[in-house]
Chain A
Amino acid sequence: MSYLLKNATLPNGKSSDLAIQDGHFVATGSLAENHKVIDLAGKQVLPGLVDLHTHLREPGFEESETVATGSLSAVRGGFTAISAMANTSPVADTAGVVEQVYRLGQAAGLCDVFPIGAVTQGLNGQTLSEIGAMADSSARVRVFSDDGKCVFDPLIMRRALEYVKKFDGVIAQHAQEPMLTQDAQMNEGEISAQLGLKGWPAVAEEAIIARDVLLAEHTKSRLHICHLTTAGGVEIIRWAKARGIQVTAEVTPHHLLLTDDYAKNYDPIFKVNPPLRLESDVLALRAGLADGTIDIVATDHAPHSSESKDCEWSVASFGMVGLETALSIVIKTMVETGAMNFEGVADRLSIAPARIARYANHGQNLEVGDVANLTVVDAAAKWTVDRDLMSTRSKNTPFHGFELPGVVTHTFFNGKLVFGE
């Protein structure tokens, strides 16, 4: 199928027609006769969004999500490439498991699903997993993470950082000092003290970030910090980048919008790891994302079955789904506030994540010859989040009932219209 997209607003604000044929952007003059015309007047186009951080729960926890349902959720949110974290069952710590996840993504056929390999066997934090075999597998893994757990042992972290240099890989660290966060439930602050929920101090995150940027400097390796949540963490990353350390960082949509105030009614829909922080942290994260200290937005899409949220706070699971609300939250918190334009959105949600993870054919500039991965959003349109109408298999969105800007109308993956009409 060929497409002529008329009057699209490009990330740089200019209006243009885009032609798609045989999976690529082509010159409008070279389109075949029987192409479909879609008028995108007033709509924003972006290079297909790229998410470096999702939990697709397959294999092992298919009651919460599968690679197929996660892919559908992704394209509804405008993503054409998503990354599947390794904390499945079995853990993605061998070539066999990452190839399985990769094949499931291919079979679903809606977007690219790139598995992330575990840094340590079974996420045990003690023994390196078969990193080389995963890199050489058909899944060509380049990002490694024990996400959900911190690679706590500094020697293991050092070795992992060094080892992935062999194939230009990157270690994505879940920065959480385990001893400072035993049984921790929410941000440590006035509200945790009032609620009697065990606190999760900012320093538990910042101490690991500080250690690891120094290790990355020492080893001259690439480090990526997952889901930054604190103003102090932003400062450390800013300092590290100024020193020339090869560190990149991500922020989640929910940490750009929500604060620990939401814990006050003990509804575990707001329980997430790392926890929601203070308004001052939210503002620092937005500023960091705007000035490029934080390189990307990643969803940390974490589906959970309803019974693991419909309970007491302290026994509830950590995590929120996010693929279908991510772009809207970024528009609300960054574009509508004037902190960023759509060129910035294209960079933080597509170009930069594709570059960090070395995902070919993603994060490009919509030029003739590029693979046609494209997201169309009606940025001005409003919609109300309804957990019962989402494509993800789980309903644990903290945004149920929120009115948000930005309706994704079309998603093209490899030149195919995978979402929209």
Chain B
Amino acid sequence: MKHLLSINDLSRDEAILILDTAAELARISDGPMKKLPTLRGRTIVNLFAEDSTRTRISFEAAAKRLSADVINFSAKGSSLSKGESLKDTAQTLQAMGADAVVIRHPASGAPFRLADNQWMSGAVINAGDGTHEHPSQALLDAYTIRKHLGKGAKDLSGLRVAIVGDILHSRVARSNVLLLAKLGAHVTLVAPPTLLPFGVDSWPVTISYDLDSVLPQVDVIMMLRIQQERMHEIFFPNAREYSRYFGLNRDRVKALNSNAIIMHPGPMNRGLEITADAADSARSVIVEQVSNGVSVRMAILYLLLGGAPIEGGIN
């Protein structure tokens, strides 16, 4: 595993190794010495060509706890916003000796272009590309699910997960569908037909347009953010109607199984896809997802960079 571009890059065993490593790193982080020396002297660049606070901070915290040097490179005020090409940016990072680039980019596939073109030699980690994938989010979601409902199992066999909302534009959904299927969970996608991709029939999932019928049948309900800009693209009549059919509110929380957990990748639109009392209920693991995110990203960086021999001498 040289890069993490897509969940497809991971075998089931590699995915489980990441979750296990994250659990071990979390255990160490809970001890007195939060910081590990593993990546001392390594340089990790956070290349964020799209606004993101939580994912960038999460990767930054993960890298720093492993003692790596972190350079943050965000679109605003950087050369990316001045029309510099991705290729030139990549070559610049290469020249600066980046060992890994964590990239968030509005164009689907941009991390593939970084990794495939010999523009740079470091590891590329996809931190969300367009409407394609967000593999580290899926891994932290799987980690969170396993921790709560795994009953000591390595994978998620037999667990039932509903992903609700804007599947069409969601990189979180794409990565989660791939990973949850790999780990043996059964996934149901719940959305209005307008927010499901044309080719969804071939995905390893069940499709439903009816949230209320799905609620009592799942162990996990994962709510996706409805982006404000979609409001103007006639995917649904208005926010009120969307919430009525697809929002998670107090009554729907009551319809859930007694052991079911509520997840959301954030940032939430409280009152739209999820009400405040649902988000803050005892079932909600949304805040915990954030802290698990740091452990999982530490595991990703550790496994991609840690202990690997430095190729060609000086990096």
Instruction: Mark A residues whose CB is within 8 Å of B.
Output: 188-199, 201, 265-267, 307, 310-315
Contacts and interface: CB of A to CB of B under 8 A. Distances in A.
Given A193-B198, A310-B87, A265 B116 contact: yes
Nearest to B169: A196
29 contacts: A189-B198, A190-B199, A190-B202, A192-B197, A192-B199, A193-B199, A193-B203, A194-B174, A195-B108, A195-B132, A196-B129, A196-B132, A196-B171, A196-B174, A197-B109, A197-B130, A198-B131, A199-B197, A201-B198, A265-B116, A266-B109, A266-B113, A310-B87, A310-B117, A312-B86, A313-B107, A314-B106, A314-B130, A315-B107
A192 to B, nearest CB: 7
B110 A312 contact: yes
A311 to B, nearest CB: 6
Contacts of A310: 85, 87, 117
Contacts of B255: none
Contacts of B209: none
Given A195-B109, A196-B131, A311 B198 contact: no
A27 B133 CA distance: 68
Contact of B199 (A194, A307, A313): A194
A266 B106 CA distance: 14
B62 to A, nearest CB: 25
A194 B203 CA distance: 9
B73 interface: no
Interface string B172-211: 0010000000000000000000000111101100000000
B56 interface: no
Contacts of A196: 108-109, 129-133, 171, 174
B199 A189 contact: yes
A312 B198 contact: no
B308 to A, nearest CB: 25
A266 B112 contact: yes
A337 to B, nearest CB: 28
A188 B113 CA distance: 21
Interface string B85-99: 111000000000000
Given A307-B85, A312-B107, A199 B112 contact: no
Contacts of B107: 312-315
Interface string B108-129: 1110110011000000000001
A263 to B, nearest CB: 9
B130 A311 contact: no
A267 B301 CA distance: 27
Interface residues of B, number: 26
Contacts of A265: 112, 116
Given A197-B130, A266-B112, 6 more contacts: A189-B199, A193-B199, A196-B174, A197-B108, A197-B132, A201-B198
B104 interface: no
A195 B131 CA distance: 8
Nearest to B198: A188
Contact of B200 (A191, A193, A313, A314): A193
A183 to B, nearest CB: 11
A315 B106 CA distance: 11
A192 B198 contact: yes
Contacts of B171: 196
A400 to B, nearest CB: 14
A179 to B, nearest CB: 11
A306 to B, nearest CB: 10
B297 interface: no
Nearest to B174: A196
Contacts of A199: 197-198
A137 B198 CA distance: 48
B197 to A, nearest CB: 4
A191 B85 CA distance: 26
A201 B112 CA distance: 25
B264 interface: no
Interface in B262-304: none
Which 5 pairs across A and B sit closest by C-beta, in order of nearness?
Answer: A266-B109, A196-B132, A193-B199, A190-B199, A193-B197
Contacts of B132: 195-197
B105 interface: yes
Contacts of B109: 195-197, 266, 312-314
A412 to B, nearest CB: 42
B200 to A, nearest CB: 6
Contacts of A189: 198-199
Contacts of B131: 196-198
Contacts of A191: 199
A315 B80 CA distance: 13
Nearest to A198: B131
Nearest to A314: B107
Contacts of B106: 314
Contacts of B198: 188-189, 192-193, 199, 201
A189 B203 CA distance: 12
A189 B132 CA distance: 14
B141 to A, nearest CB: 18
Contacts of B116: 265-267
Interface in B210-267: none
B174 A312 contact: no
A267 B174 CA distance: 20
Contacts of A311: 85-87, 113
B203 to A, nearest CB: 8
A268 to B, nearest CB: 9
Contacts of B113: 266, 311-313
A194 B105 CA distance: 17
Contact of A314 (B85, B108, B117, B202): B108
Nearest to A315: B107
Contacts of A193: 197-200, 202-203
B114 to A, nearest CB: 9
A241 to B, nearest CB: 30
B26 to A, nearest CB: 30
A198 B107 CA distance: 11
Contacts of A312: 86, 105, 107, 109-110, 113
A312 to B, nearest CB: 4
A200 to B, nearest CB: 10
Interface string B8-50: 0000000000000000000000000000000000000000000
A266 B85 contact: no
A307 to B, nearest CB: 7
A193 B108 CA distance: 11
A313 B85 contact: no
| A195, A196, A198, A311 interface centre (most CB from chain B within 10 Å) | A196
